[in-house]
Structure 1
Amino acid sequence: MSLALTLAALWVLAANILAMTPSKDNHWRRAYALIALGIPIVGLVTWHHGPWIGMLVMAGGVSVLRWPVVYFGRWIKRVTLR
């Protein structure tokens, strides 16, 4: 397995471990940190393995961080419909 896919797998493992631990802010700070780490990893996977594998890794990240994506979509919808 390449370094890029190994980093993506470690990111998923870390995301699941962080999701199982208690949090006072509903895991939002952890979500921000995972997003900040995940974007470069998706870029690295895309660079090494092409856009299809990059999109699969991105879809996996979106499935893990679904609520930030839902809130971002609502924000985009609210801003564009003004």
Structure 2
Amino acid sequence: MTGSMMAFFGWIVVASGIALLPRRVHGPGAAGLVVAGIPLAGWVTYQNGPFWGMAAIAAGASILRWPLIHLWRWVRRHLPGHVE
């Protein structure tokens, strides 16, 4: 197993640990996971190929689904022509 995959599995363990913490930690924890996860997904792609890179991105998106949902809602709200 490559170092990038071991680091990514460690990222998954840390994400699961953050999910067990109180809600007030979720926001900063999610931000830290995104900051660490984007270059980590790039490293996985570089070492293991695009299939595993996309799998890493999909796994990260499934773990961080609520921050992605809130980002999507914010983007849609700020697009021109959006009616509330």
Give the TM-score normalised by structure 2.
Answer: 0.88
Q: In structure 1, list runs of 5 or more residues that go unmatched.
A: none
Q: Which has the larger radius of gyration?
A: 2
Equivalent runs, 1:1-82 vs 2, <5 Å: 1-23=1-23, 25=24, 27-82=26-81
Q: Which runs of 4+ in 1 moved over 4 A?
A: none
Name the count of aligned residue pairs: 81
**Residues of 2 paired with 1:28 and 1:21: CA distance?**
11
**Residues of 2 paired with 1:68 and 1:18: CA distance?**
14
- The alpha-carbon deviation at position 74 of structure 1 amounts to 1.2
**Residues of 1 paired with 2:45 and 2:71: CA distance?**
23
Q: In structure 2, list runs of 5 or more residues that go unmatched.
A: none
**Residues of 2 paired with 1:74 and 1:26: CA distance?**
22
RCO comparison, higher one (Cα < 8 Å, 6+): 1
Q: Percent identity?
A: 35
Give the TM-score normalised by structure 1.
Answer: 0.90
**Is the 8 Å Cα contact of residues 41 and 57 (structure 2) preserved in structure 1?**
yes
